[in-house]
Amino acid sequence: MKLKITLTKSLIACRFNQIKTAHCLGLKKINNQVIKDDTPAIHGMIKTISHLVVVEKVSYTKEQK
């Protein structure tokens, strides 16, 4: 299972660790989307910036690229 993570709010005025977490996930601008594996590490990152992102579960295959 994969997670589609969308940055919905700005990183301005966020704490430094929240900005770094968003960048590590690949989110730099509003409405950026990334697809990541559903792992405990990713869940921890999402928990850190949960007020800034929207998370959806997707079933992702190579044909959908």
CATH number of the CATH domain containing 42 = 3.30.1390.20
Cα–chain center distance at 23: 9
* 64, part of any domain: no
- Per-residue pLDDT of 12-47, as tens digits, reads 999 999 999 999 999 999 999 999 999 999 999 999
User: How far is Cα 37 from Cα 13, in angstroms, rounded to an integer?
Assistant: 28
Q: Domain range holding 53?
A: 2-58
Q: How confident is the model at residue 59 (pLDDT cuts 50, 70, 90)?
A: confident
Q: How many domains does the chain have?
A: 1
* 65 within some domain: no
| Alpha carbon distance 27, 50 (integer Å) | 13
Q: Are 2 and 57 in contact (CB under 8 A)?
A: yes
Question: Does residue 63 or residue 33 have the better pLDDT?
Answer: 33
